[in-house]
Amino acid sequence: MSGVLEAMKEISKYVEEATFRISSYEVETFVNTLIDAYNSNSKILVVGTGRSGLVGKAFAMRLMHLGFRVYVIGETITPPVDKGDILIAISGSGVTELTVTVARIAKRLGAKIIAITSYPDSPLGRLAKLTIKIPGRTKIAKESNYIARQILGMHEPLAPLGTLFENTVMAFLDGIIVELMKRLGVDEETLRRRHSNVELP
C-alpha cells in the first residue's frame, strides 16, 4: 500500500510543479476564447482518444453544466462543425492520428483549433490557433495511431510517462472550470441543477 501512496505523492507533486511551467498568456487566452464562445452561443467540440478522450469528456460535461453548447466528437448527437466553432483537441504527443485528422478537417471547415499537448511543434500544434503546452509526456510512441497501438498491444507505461500528461490536463481543465464559474457568475447550485438526473446504475 505504501507504494500506492508514494505514487500518489509523485503524481500530485508533478501536477503542482507543472503549474509553474504553463503559460499564463495561454491560459488567459483560452479562458477568454471560451467566454467569447459562451457569449456568442458558438459550439465547442472536444476530441481526444484513449485517456485524453476521457479527460476531454469530463471537461465537456463541466462546460455543459456551465451552460455552454458543447459536444464530444464521435458521439451520435454531435452536430456538424460550422465556421466559428471551437475544437478543443487533446493529445500528449500531438501526433495521434485520429485527433490530428479531426483537427485538420475542422480547421478546413472554419473552426478555431485549440490544441492541448506537450509538443507545440507537433502536427496538432501546427494546426492550432492556440496551443496550450502541458508538460507530461517524455516520449512519443513509435506507432502514432491509438487504435493500432491497442491492436498491437503497444501500451504506453503509466506514471511517470503518459499518465502524467492526462493527470495534469485534468487538473488544468478543472482549474479552467473554476475560473469560468467566477467570471460567468455561476455557482455550484446552478451546476447541480444542470447535472443529469437520470443515470445508469
Task: Quick: pLDDT tens for 40-72.
Answer: 999 999 999 999 999 999 999 999 999 999 999
Specify the amino acid at residue 118: S
Q: How confident is the model at residue 7 (pLDDT cuts 50, 70, 90)?
A: confident
- Is 103's pLDDT higher than 70? yes
Q: Is residue 138 part of a domain?
A: yes
Which of 80, 133, 118, 119 minimizes the C-alpha distance to 102?
80
Domain with 113 in it: what CATH number?
Answer: 3.40.50.10490
Q: Is residue 97 part of a domain?
A: yes
136: left (phi over 0), alpha (psi -120 to 50) or beta: left
Tell which wins on pLDDT, 63 or 156: 63
Q: Is residue 1 part of a domain?
A: no
pLDDT, position 152: 47
State the catalytic residue, choosing from 156, 166, 188, 189.
166
Q: Is residue 79 part of a domain?
A: yes
Q: Is residue 101 part of a domain?
A: yes
Q: How confident is the model at residue 136 (pLDDT cuts 50, 70, 90)?
A: confident
* Region 100-116 average pLDDT: 98
Structural domain for 77, as ranges: 9-185
- pTM attached to this predicted model: 0.85
List Cα–Cα distances, 48 to 14, 53, 74, 154, in angstroms: 22, 4, 10, 18
What distance in Å separates the CA atoms of residue 71 and residue 61, rounded to the nearest whole number? 9
Q: Is residue 200 part of a domain?
A: no
Is there a catalytic annotation at residue 166? yes
Render pLDDT for 13-45 as a digit per residue (tens, 0 to 9): 889 999 999 999 999 999 999 999 999 999 999
Q: Is residue 192 part of a domain?
A: no
Q: How many domains does the chain have?
A: 1
What distance in Å separates the CA atoms of residue 128 and residue 123, rounded to the nearest whole number? 9
Q: How confident is the model at residue 198 (pLDDT cuts 50, 70, 90)?
A: low
- Is 176's pLDDT higher than 80? yes
Q: Is residue 4 part of a domain?
A: no
